[in-house]
Amino acid sequence: MIDESALRDPILKEPHIHAFVILGTNREGRFYFSHTPMLHNPVHAYQVIFEGEFDKIEDMEKYLIKREDLRKKGERPDNAVIIANPNQVQSFEKILNIPTLTEGSFIGEGFEGLGFENGEAFKKPSFMKAKINIKKVLLFQKLNPHTQDYPNFLTYYLYGTNSKLYISHVLTKAPNFEQEREIELLEPKNINFGSNSVFKIEVPDIIEKNNQPIRDDPIKEERKDGYKINIEDGSTGRIKFGKYQWIEINILNTPHQQHLHPNSKWSSF
């Protein structure tokens, strides 16, 4: 799902700090990265997901060790692994190699969550510095917080390979919530994405439209038999929601004037 018209936006040339939630624990190198957007900041008002790989095996191992450390400590929705470039700012154009969307890359630092210290993001020491090579951009969508209405049911982008699948909440109007999560596919045995990179899915047991603004995890109970999903190709399935996830509402919904203030903790993020 690539918004071709959005790729021509000149604001994508502006260098900024960009941050991505890392998903996946596959030592074969399949990892997914989901951008942490801001609905009211034009530079960051994009929902972006790409498949990428660590340039060096030792950096991949540092990430996997951190993931295991988080699992042992107890996974929470505010401490997923995030890679960002606070010390080597780049534009989206260079990171994603727009307009071709091939062979992009960036150098970033790994943090637990947003690395907050004294109210500022990415001030805690990072646990790694790594080059990420982008293999394929799966989603590039410009966000407009004032146009599209909330969907009736909880709606996600579904992506990944075979049984290693992930979801990102579909962002529509403001206010909203960002959520990235690893899931377990119960039915069918695998998803055939065909020529698609992502599918939209809805969880018909969970109402979204009438419950917005949602401020925390909308999945309130675990179910042994999982949750039914309706897939946009017309098929259905069942999934279990994994424990590793990221939920964020504050930065996503911060008013634009706070981004613009030179002393704001969000001014460059």
- Helix (H) or strand (E) holding 65, with range, is helix 57-73
- Spatial contact of 175 and 253, defined as CB atoms under 8 Å apart: yes
pTM over 0.85: yes
E strand or H helix that includes residue 70: helix 57-73
Contact criterion met (CB below 8 Å) for 198 and 1: yes
Q: In the chain, where do the E strands start and end?
A: 19-23, 31-35, 46-54, 81-84, 105-112, 128-142, 153-161, 164-169, 178-187, 199-207, 227-231, 236-248
CB 152 within 8 A of CB 207: yes
pLDDT digits (tens, 9 = 90+) for 138-185: 999 999 988 879 999 999 999 998 778 999 999 999 999 999 999 999
Name the residue ranges covered by the structural domains of the chain. Answer: 4-143, 153-248
Each residue's pLDDT tens digit in the chain (269 positions)? 888 888 888 888 999 999 999 999 887 768 999 999 999 999 899 999 999 999 999 999 999 999 999 999 888 888 899 999 998 898 898 999 888 898 899 999 999 999 888 888 889 999 999 999 999 999 999 999 888 799 999 999 999 987 789 999 999 999 999 999 999 999 988 888 878 889 999 999 999 999 999 999 999 998 999 999 999 999 999 999 999 999 999 999 988 654 433 333 444 44
- In three-state secondary structure terms, 125 is coil
- Give the position of tokens 């790694």: 128
Which amino acid is located at 260 in the chain? Answer: L
Instruction: Tell me how far apart the alpha carbons of residues 46 and 91 are, in angstroms, rounded to a whole number.
Output: 13
Instruction: Provide the phi-psi class of 258: left if phi over 0, else alpha when psi is between -120 and 50, else beta.
Output: alpha
Distances, alpha carbon 205 to alpha carbons 32, 81, 151, 152, in Å: 27, 29, 13, 11
DSSP state of 10: G
**Dihedral (C-alpha) 203, 80, 134, 37: value to the nearest 10 degrees?**
70
Chain-centroid distance, C-alpha 3? 17
Q: Which residues pair with 155 in a beta bridge?
A: 202
pLDDT in tens, 34-61: 999 999 999 899 999 999 999 999 999 9
Ramachandran sector of residue 62 (left: φ over 0; alpha: ψ -120 to 50; beta: rest): alpha
Report the candidate in 168, 147, 146 with the shortest Cα–Cα distance to residue 157: 168
